[in-house]
Amino acid sequence: MKQAALLGGLALSACAAPPPPPATSADPRVIVTPPVQAALGVSLPSVTTLPDGRLRVVVNLQNPSPADFPLRIQTDWLDATGRPLSTVAARPQFRSVPRSTVTTIDADAPSTRARDFRMTLDIESP
Amino acid sequence: MTAKSGSNRHHLLALGLLASLAACAAPGEITTQRIDPRNDRSPVGMALDNRDFEQAAQALVRSMLESERLPPRPDGQPRVMAISRITNDTTLRINTNELLQTIRRELSNSGRIVTTTAVGLDGPSDPLAMKARQLRQSAEFNQRTVAGHGQMVAPDLSLSGQIIQRTTRVDGGAQRVDYLFQLTLTNIRTGIAVWEGQEVISRIGSGRTVTW
């Protein structure tokens, strides 16, 4: 009897729809590539101005999977005309997003000339 | 007829040999390619490359600019930094300017800190600023265009630091290498460190790899 119930439970769980993919940022300034979209939940970016006038962007990433995720983050900082500033802050950064938790990534503008940003989240290829 | 067919056979043999040689060479050969530093996905080694210096500089500059102990001068002008000793304590041959130049450029672009090239531990990095003062004695130069007395700005900050390497063996015969980038900003007037930062870049790889 117990075994039958167990088997029934297993069969039911197999029929159940797979869990929905994690919610993904709808902000066009945060570009999420398909592999990241499939694996991580990406929050809307929170943009604040620091006391010295520079912008700061904060994004939360949720990794519900049981494996760490290798992430490549690139943040372009745009001036008032929409042109990317030449800065080392725009170079790709490697981060490992730990499994089963939420990771906060943030980026500070290199100067007050930066008026907007564009953040690209991609998988770090081996 | 026989001679012609023999020559043809030789040609075919030579062609076949060439084709097989080309086939053998092709798979393992690495072709030279250009690398866009903004999109560099090339493999990494156990030693440091340009990406590591940029990552370290990025993190250290960010930490510096975040520091509340580095306000602008009372007159609103940026602080003036001189470069002191940066020690390379690794097995790699490193030109520390690779790190420093990026840091200087980022700080300068931030508008918070500028670097003097007229003062340095081993003399000025640009001796021309001082040498150009000799033009004061030349009648050939319009003296209003020559740098006057008391125009240079003395540094109020000194940047020093070191790059350290630690290599350890880990389970399975692998090797772990940690590179520590440590920088300190000292207030020259008081001798007190107003900011200290460290960025660690680590690798794990084959134990048979050497890191120099």
pLDDT tens readout for residues B9-23: 666 566 565 555 555
**B110 vs A90, A93, A110: nearest CB:** A110
Asked if A26 reaches chain B (Cβ–Cβ under 8 Å), the answer is no
pLDDT, tens digit, 9 for 90 and up, residues B147-185: 999 999 999 999 999 999 999 999 888 999 999 999 999
Residue A17 pLDDT level (bands cut at 50, 70, 90) = low
Print the domain residue range for A92. Answer: 20-123
Spatial contact of A87 and A74, defined as CB atoms under 8 Å apart: no
DSSP letter string, A3-44: HHHHHHHHHHHHHSPPPPPPP----TTEEE-HHHHHH-EEPP
Q: What is the pLDDT of residue B41?
A: 86
pLDDT at B208 over 70: yes
Asked if A2 reaches chain B (Cβ–Cβ under 8 Å), the answer is no
Residue B49 pLDDT level (bands cut at 50, 70, 90) = very high
Q: What is the pLDDT of residue B100?
A: 95
Task: Note whether residue A38 is domain-resident.
Answer: yes
Task: Note whether residue A32 is domain-resident.
Answer: yes
Q: Whole-prediction pTM value?
A: 0.80
Q: What CATH number did the domain enclosing A109 receive?
A: 2.60.40.3230
Q: What is the pLDDT of residue B197?
A: 97
Task: Note whether residue A13 is domain-resident.
Answer: no
Cβ distance of B112 and A74 shorter than 8 Å = no
Q: What is the pLDDT of residue B69?
A: 86
Spatial contact of A54 and A88, defined as CB atoms under 8 Å apart: no
Spatial contact of A86 and B38, defined as CB atoms under 8 Å apart: no
**A87 vs B66, B109, B111: nearest CB:** B109
Instruction: Identify the residue among A52, A56, A125 best suited for mutation to test binding to B, counting B beta carbons within 10 A and taking the highest.
Output: A52
Q: What does pLDDT average to over chain A?
A: 86
Which sequence spans correspond to the domains of chain B?
48-117+154-206
Fold that domain B48-117+154-206 belongs to in CATH: Rossmann fold (3.40.50)
B160 has which bridge partners? B184
Task: Note whether residue A73 is domain-resident.
Answer: yes
pLDDT, tens digit, 9 for 90 and up, residues B132-146: 999 999 999 999 999
Task: Note whether residue A109 is domain-resident.
Answer: yes
DSSP letter string, B39-93: G------SS--HHHHHHHHHHHHHHHHH-TT-PPPTTSPPEEEEEEEEEEESSS-
A119, burial (CB in 10 Å: exposed 0-12, middle 13-18, buried 19+): buried
Task: Note whether residue A74 is domain-resident.
Answer: yes
Task: Note whether residue A11 is domain-resident.
Answer: no
Task: Note whether residue A7 is domain-resident.
Answer: no
How many structural domains is chain A composed of? 1
